[in-house]
Amino acid sequence: MRNYGKVSSRFWTGRTGKLLRGDSDAQLLALYLMTSPHANMIGVFHCPVMYMAHETGITMEGASKALRRLREVEFCTFDEDEELIWVHEMAAHQIDEHLSPRDKRVIGIRKQVEQIPEGQIRRGFWARYATDFHLQVSTEFDDSDEGASKALNKPLRSQEQEQEQEQEQESTPSVAGPVPANDCPHQLIIDAYHELLPTCTPVKIWSEQRRKHLRQRWREDPKRQHIEWWRKFFAYVAESKFLTGRAEAQPGRSPFVADLEWLVKPEKFAKTIEGKYHNEVTE
């Protein structure tokens, strides 16, 4: 357990602090994650939502919403299967922005990185810190048809944990900036679907086939590789009486209600974008 964690006063006036103003639960959760007793120096640690709720006094629902908000502003990445969180800029602020190759801390960082399960968080950490911390090239990225090896040569636009140093840069990534094309954020999109289309059929099981369709829609167009694009798409769907079950049904039939699986099927997705379901039509 750590004895302390660093939190700069810049947190309140930097990019993340500004984006979180008015959301006290998200602010509290951000501070908790930066100073969590479960955290380590690289900012990648096991932290179930249950811990977040219990140790901050926020309800489970409130903690989940706060975590979703922190992910939206790109403060952190959360692997729900592993219950693993990565606070993106934590290593830079708890350790240093750049280390000498001879710095003894480099060895300790490498050992901790080796313990990160393979997946989005491990790839993201390597992309962000491989150069600054002189991490050895991981075979995990070699000959990958997913293009993960390219991430080492193109660092992620860091989702700022607002402990910014001397000054806040004028050009900052957007709130809903792009996620690497190969890392379709299924849960964030599902959360946006539930939030903006509450009358549509909720997602209970997200099978591999459904993941495949959503991943394809995500990768087809760079414009879609932003959470904000999907929020606008769902808001557009909400305007359709037919897709949301508000259209008059044929005699003897229940109104049609779309679900996320239906919306991301190639033909249905194209027709929805073309506006073919925004007149009072029947499928």
The residue among 153, 175, 206 that closes a domain is: 153
According to the model, what pLDDT value does residue 97 have?
85
Whether 128 and 250 share a structural domain: no
Whether 29 and 113 share a structural domain: yes
Q: List helix spans (H) across the chain.
A: 15-19, 24-35, 49-56, 60-72, 90-94, 105-114, 120-129, 186-196, 208-220, 227-238, 260-263, 266-273
One-letter identity of residue 31: L
- Token representation of residue 256: 């049609």
Per residue in 246-283, pLDDT tens?
888 888 888 899 999 999 999 999 999 988 888 755 44
- Token representation of residue 130: 């491989």
- The whole domain housing 111 covers 9-153
Whether 143 and 44 share a structural domain: yes
Q: How confident is the model at residue 2 (pLDDT cuts 50, 70, 90)?
A: low
For residues 13-32, give the mean pLDDT.
93
Whether 77 and 127 share a structural domain: yes
According to the model, what pLDDT value does residue 29 have?
97
| Percentage of residues of the chain with pLDDT beyond 90 | 41
Per-residue pLDDT for 179 more than 60? no
Whether 269 and 205 share a structural domain: yes
According to the model, what pLDDT value does residue 69 have?
94
The residue among 153, 171, 203 that closes a domain is: 153
The distance of Cα 277 from the centroid of its chain, to the nearest Å, equals 30
Whether 196 and 91 share a structural domain: no
According to the model, what pLDDT value does residue 50 have?
94
- Is residue 80 assigned to a domain? yes
Who contacts 21 (Cβ-Cβ below 8 Å, separation ≥6)?
27
Who contacts 194 (Cβ-Cβ below 8 Å, separation ≥6)?
202, 203
Who contacts 235 (Cβ-Cβ below 8 Å, separation ≥6)?
196
- Is residue 169 assigned to a domain? no
Whether 213 and 136 share a structural domain: no
Answer whether 223's CB lies under 8 Å from 217's CB.
Answer: no
- Give strand pairing partners of 259: 201
Question: Which residue would you say has higher pLDDT here, 175 or 258?
Answer: 258
- Is residue 243 assigned to a domain? yes
Q: CA angle at residue 10 from 9 to 13, to 5 degrees?
A: 115
- Is residue 55 assigned to a domain? yes
Per-residue pLDDT for 178 more than 60? no
Length of the chain: 283
- Is residue 280 assigned to a domain? no
Whether 147 and 254 share a structural domain: no
Question: Which residue would you say has higher pLDDT here, 109 or 177?
Answer: 109
- Is residue 253 assigned to a domain? yes
The residue among 153, 169, 195 that closes a domain is: 153
- pTM for the full predicted model: 0.50
Whether 95 and 52 share a structural domain: yes
Reported as type and span, the H/E element at residue 86 is: strand 84-87
Tell me the average pLDDT of the chain: 81
Structurally, the chain folds into a number of domains equal to 2
Who contacts 276 (Cβ-Cβ below 8 Å, separation ≥6)?
none
Per residue in 115-130, pLDDT tens?
999 888 988 898 888 8
For residues 48-74, give the mean pLDDT.
94
Whether 134 and 195 share a structural domain: no
